[in-house]
């Protein structure tokens, strides 16, 4: 684990997406409610360029390796002439980014286009390091390699994650995008946290995805995680459903973030792995504030009771209760991009109130 990981404990942050179209208003809400763990907002309501998939695939479009516009599913041009030359060019750029002293210049290809990440660039315009209450950390996010790889096709229509060559290209693209984010956010001289958003980890073990390899999932995530760590940032993975949590607890992560509102039961099976993760200093991210209609009936007090009940249930399964009560990070259960602005505001204010109640 990184030194000083305790900077994460007891704090709060957001997941990523928000329903606002104007980044100014989104950042006002973040600054007001999450002053110690602000994140840059993804704003899918501004258009498809800020979607979960497209925001991170632009480098491959620029290199002529992928199409995002024809049909509903993005696809690789791996069956078209010139593919080998494009693949060779990609790896030349990748190796160039990994050379010491040359990373910042080459990483420009993996920067977000301004039209695809208005919230990110507005976030960079803020003076986070000069606030009277300085943030404990700044948070960014990147889509996970499994979730990208299952929603992008090879030229023959097969999901790209099943192809070793295309999976490797996706992994390396996301790793370099994560490195770009860390380098950009480090200009504030504050700790940086990057979450890998991996909602489709729930696919593993389900019958339609029986051929998914645990090894390939772990290797893909680890490549992105190590890129984040090598840049000196904290690495987390966010999943908003019940998954095989043992995959994540065995990876070199600082944070495992889960939907603690609806899916606490899914964690009980993996209590031994969780206890080992916490004993190494890991931070458990509790997504306690619902990002659904349930937010209308909950408040910070009711969610505080849910938190303590969760600790009691996990401790009965053998997880150290002292570590659970200390090594936590609070978040909404998922992004708020599908909610109304009013609902999103309630989610963020409730998260802030809950964090204060638990300190």
Q: Where are the beta strands (DSSP E) in 214-273?
A: 234-239, 255-258
Using the Cα atoms of residue 41, residue 45, residue 48 and residue 49 in order, give the sign of their dihedral. negative
Residue 168 scores a pLDDT above 70: yes
pLDDT bin (cut points 50, 70, 90) of residue 101 is low
Q: How far apart are CA 179 and CA 234, in angstroms?
A: 12
Which residues on adjacent β-strands are paired with residue 354?
A: none
Report residue 80 CA to chain centroid gap: 33
Local confidence band at 67 (pLDDT 50, 70, 90 cut-offs): confident
Residue 104's SS3 state is: helix
Residue 108 buriedness (CB in 10 A; 0-12 / 13-18 / 19+): exposed
* pLDDT above 90: percentage of residues in the chain: 83
**Burial tier of 119 (Cβ tally within 10 Å: 0-12, 13-18, 19+):** buried
Read off φ and ψ for residue 266, nearest 5 degrees: -65, -20
Q: What is the domain partition of the chain in residue ranges?
A: 5-358
**Residue 116 and residue 50 in contact, taking contact as beta carbons nearer than 8 Å:** yes
* The CATH classification of domain 5-358, taken from the options 3.20.20.210, 3.90.1150.10, 3.40.50.300, 3.40.630.10: 3.20.20.210
Contact status, residue 171 vs residue 220, Cβ threshold 8 Å: yes
DSSP strand pairing (255-258 vs 283-289)? parallel
pLDDT at res. 64: 94
Confidence of residue 260 (pLDDT cuts 50, 70, 90): very high
Which residues are bridge partners to 285 per DSSP? 257, 329
Buried b / exposed e along 202-225 (16+ C-beta atoms within 10 A): bbbeeeebeebeeebbeebbbbbb
Instruction: Note the pLDDT tens digit of each residue in 198-245.
Output: 999 999 988 888 899 999 999 999 999 999 999 999 999 999 999 999
Q: How far apart are CA 165 and CA 319, in angstroms?
A: 40
Tokens of 315: 């401790």
Q: What is the chain's mean pLDDT, rounded?
A: 93
d(CA 247, CA 332): 22
pLDDT value, residue 209: 87
pLDDT at residue 100, rounded to an integer:
63
Burial label, 79 (beta-carbon count in 10 A; 0-12, 13-18, 19+)? exposed
Confidence of residue 102 (pLDDT cuts 50, 70, 90): low
Over residues 168-183, mean pLDDT: 97
Distance CA 187, CA 121 (A): 13
The position carrying tokens 């957001």 is: 14
**How many angstroms separate the Cα of 59 from the Cα of each of 29, 100, 154, 215, 350?**
31, 21, 17, 26, 37
The 3-state DSSP composition of the chain as helix, strand, coil percent (nearest 5) reads 50, 10, 35
Question: Is 236 in a helix, a strand, or coil?
Answer: strand
Average pLDDT of the segment spanning 282-300: 96
pLDDT tens digits, one per residue of 72-84:
788 999 998 999 9
- Which is nearest to 250 in space by CA: 221, 213, 230, 287? 221
- pLDDT beyond 70 at 3: no
- Give the pLDDT score at 129: 81
Q: Residue 258: phi, psi to the nearest 5?
A: -135, 160
């Amino acid at each position: 684990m990184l030194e000083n990981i305790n900077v994460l404990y007891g704090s709060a942050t957001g997941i990523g997406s928000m329903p606002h179209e104007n980044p100014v208003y989104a950042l006002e809400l973040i600054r007001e409610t999450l002053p110690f763990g602000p994140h840059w907002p993804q704003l899918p309501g501004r258009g498809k360029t800020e979607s979960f998939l497209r925001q991170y695939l632009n480098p491959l479009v620029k290199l002529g390796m992928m199409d995002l516009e024809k049909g509903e599913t993005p696809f690789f041009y791996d069956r078209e002439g010139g593919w080998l030359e494009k693949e060779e060019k990609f790896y030349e750029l990748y190796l160039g980014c990994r050379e010491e002293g040359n990373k910042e210049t080459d990483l420009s290809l993996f920067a977000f286009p301004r039209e695809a990440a208005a919230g990110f660039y507005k976030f960079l315009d803020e003076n986070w390091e000069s606030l009277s209450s300085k943030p404990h950390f700044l948070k960014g996010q990147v889509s996970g390699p499994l979730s990208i790889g299952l929603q992008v096709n090879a030229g023959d229509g097969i999901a790209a994650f099943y192809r070793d060559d295309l999976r490797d290209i996706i992994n390396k693209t996301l790793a370099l995008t994560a490195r770009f984010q860390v380098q950009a956010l480090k200009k504030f001289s504050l700790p940086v946290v990057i979450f890998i958003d991996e909602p489709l980890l729930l696919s593993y073990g389900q019958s339609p995805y029986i051929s998914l390899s645990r090894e390939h999932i772990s290797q893909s995530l680890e490549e992105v995680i190590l890129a984040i760590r090598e840049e000196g940032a904290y690495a987390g993975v966010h999943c908003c459903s019940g998954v095989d949590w043992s995959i994540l607890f065995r990876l070199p992560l600082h944070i495992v973030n889960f939907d603690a509102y609806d899916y606490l039961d899914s964690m009980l099976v993996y209590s031994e792995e969780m206890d080992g993760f916490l004993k190494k200093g890991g931070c458990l991210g509790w997504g306690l504030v619902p990002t659904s209609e349930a937010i209308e009936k909950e408040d910070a007090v009711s969610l505080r009771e849910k938190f303590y009940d969760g600790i009691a249930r996990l401790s009965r399964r053998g997880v150290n209760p002292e570590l659970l009560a200390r090594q936590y990070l609070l978040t909404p259960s998922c992004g708020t991009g599908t909610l109304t602005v009013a609902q999103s505001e309630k989610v963020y204010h409730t998260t802030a109130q809950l964090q204060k109640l638990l300190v």
